[in-house]
Chains A and B, each alone.
Chain A
Amino acid sequence: AQKVTQAQTEISVVEKEDVTLDCVYETRDTTYYLFWYKQPPSGELVFLIRRNSFDEQNEISGRYSWNFQKSTSSFNFTITASQVVDSAVYFCALSEAPGGYQKVTFGIGTKLQVIP
């Protein structure tokens, strides 16, 4: 069974601070995909990143960076110099390898509030 744990349910930071959102996952698959999504108050899910299990390179995209550590089954997300527009709920997700139904399992989400 797949499981995604986001231990932080709510985080508040002051604008311009850096913040890291934690994600720990469990899966029996050797091939799998990890995702981060942003859900602003409007409700629409915004895709941020996809990482496959064979690619452990960290990635940076502007103020966003991701740290994938297979040894600890973690896929953490860092926002540098946070802005008010970053306020949203962030979901980490895991999907099984191609060939199956490829269900996506979501974590419970971390609500980030960036205070001006």
Chain B
Amino acid sequence: GAVVSQHPSWVICKSGTSVKIECRSLDFQATTMFWYRQFPKQSLMLMATSNEGSKATYEQGVEKDKFLINHASLTLSTLTVTSAHPEDSSFYICSARKTLSSYNEQFFGPGTRLTVL
């Protein structure tokens, strides 16, 4: 199988606090992980591409200092929303691509719903 987990599945926090979301590939190694954001009734928008051992590549318009990504191992990537504000409330989804994958299939986590009060 190829299972990706996210923790927490939902979080409510006060404005100004930081929130860390974990993305883990449970039964495979993932050199590359992706972070997406989904607003209600909208599509998934890629925020950044995370490569193990190197800096993440952010999409245009995504603030690097706001959304800190750390891909410290082949099975774990973390997204930290710093100084969260209500407009950061969203559904955050990660995906992982198997190392040495011969085709580009990404396995998605179940998502984390962030609500900032």
Within 8 Å of chain A (Cβ to Cβ): is B113? yes
Specify the main secondary structure of chain B where it touches its partner. Answer: strand
Interface stretch among A19-27, A42-50, A59-67, A75-83? A42-50
Contact of B111 among A43, A47, A101, A104 (CB under 8 A): A43
Shortest CB distance B92–A (Å): 10
Question: What is the total number of residues of chain A having a CB less than 8 Å from a CB of chain B?
Answer: 25
A36 at the interface (CB under 8 A from B): no
Q: Which of B32, B34, B43, B46 has the most CB atoms of chain A within a 10 A radius of its CB? A: B43
Inter-chain contact B43/A52, CB cutoff 8 Å: no
SS of A interface (majority): strand
- State whether A50 touches B110 (Cβ < 8 A): no
Given A52-B103, A98-B104, A103-B49, A43 and B43 contact (CB-CB distance below 8 Å) = no
Interface residues of A in 65-116 (CB under 8 A from B): 91, 95-98, 101-109, 111
Chain B residues touching A, range: 20 to 34
- Shortest C-beta distance, A25 to chain B (Å), equals 14
Does A33 lie within 8 Å of B103, measured CB to CB? Answer: yes
A98/B105 in contact, CB under 8 A = no
Tell me the nearest residue of chain B to A92, going by C-beta.
Answer: B43
Q: Which residues of B contact A106 (CB under 8 A)?
A: 43-45
Partner of B105, one of A50, A103, A111: A50
